[in-house]
Amino acid sequence: MVERNRLLDVLTWVVLAAGILVIAFPVYVTFVASTLTPQEVLQSPMPLVPGPHLVGNYRQALLHGAGETSVPVARMLFNSLVMALGVAGGKILVSILSAFAIVYFRFPFRKAAFWMIFVTLMLPVEVRIMPTYKVVSDLRLINTHAGMILPIIASATATFLFRQFFLTVPEELAEASRVDGASPMQFFRHTLLPLSATTIAALFVIQFIYGWNQYLWPLLVTTDRAMAPIVVGVTQMISRSGDAATSWNLVMATVMLAMIPPALIVVVMQRWFVKGLIETEK
Q: How confident is the model over 3-45, as pLDDT tens digits?
A: 667 888 888 899 999 998 998 999 999 999 999 998 888 888 8
Residue type, 131: P
Q: Is residue 149, in this structure, part of any structural domain at all?
A: yes
Higher pLDDT, 182 or 76: 76
Query: Are the C-beta atoms of 146 and 221 separated by less than 8 Å?
Result: no
Query: Are the C-beta atoms of 125 and 217 separated by less than 8 Å?
Result: yes
| Residues 97-106, mean pLDDT to the nearest whole number | 89
Residue 50: which residues within 8 A CB-CB, separation 6 or more?
A: 31, 32, 35
CATH number at residue 233: 1.10.3720.10
Query: Are the C-beta atoms of 214 and 87 separated by less than 8 Å?
Result: yes
Q: Is residue 272, in this structure, part of any structural domain at all?
A: yes
**Least confident segment among 44-53, 161-170, 179-188, 237-246:** 237-246
pTM of the predicted structure, to 2 decimals: 0.87
Q: Is residue 89, in this structure, part of any structural domain at all?
A: yes
Q: What is the mean pLDDT of the chain?
A: 86
CB atoms inside a 10 Å sphere around CB 101: 16
How far does Cα 188 stand from its chain's mean position?
Answer: 26
What pLDDT score does 83 carry?
95
Domain extent for 103: 65-280
Tell me the pLDDT tens digit for each residue of 201-235: 989 999 999 999 999 999 999 988 889 999 998 88
Q: Is residue 12, in this structure, part of any structural domain at all?
A: no
Q: Is residue 55, in this structure, part of any structural domain at all?
A: no
Q: Is residue 228, in this structure, part of any structural domain at all?
A: yes
Task: Judge whether residue 2 has pLDDT over 70.
Answer: no
Residue 34: which residues within 8 A CB-CB, separation 6 or more?
A: 54, 57, 58, 249, 250, 252, 253, 255, 256
Q: Is residue 18, in this structure, part of any structural domain at all?
A: no
Q: Is residue 40, in this structure, part of any structural domain at all?
A: no
Query: Are the C-beta atoms of 114 and 95 separated by less than 8 Å?
Result: no
Tell me the pLDDT tens digit for each residue of 220-273: 999 888 899 999 988 888 877 655 678 889 999 999 999 999 999 988 888 887
Residue type, 26: P
What pLDDT score does 1 carry?
46
Q: CA torsion, points 102, 104, 106, 111, in degrees to nearest 10?
A: 30
**Helix spans in the chain (H):** 6-33, 38-41, 54-64, 73-104, 110-119, 129-138, 145-149, 156-168, 171-179, 184-187, 193-195, 197-212, 216-221, 230-236, 248-268, 270-278
Q: How many domains does the chain have?
A: 1
In the chain, how long is the greatest CA-to-CA distance?
76
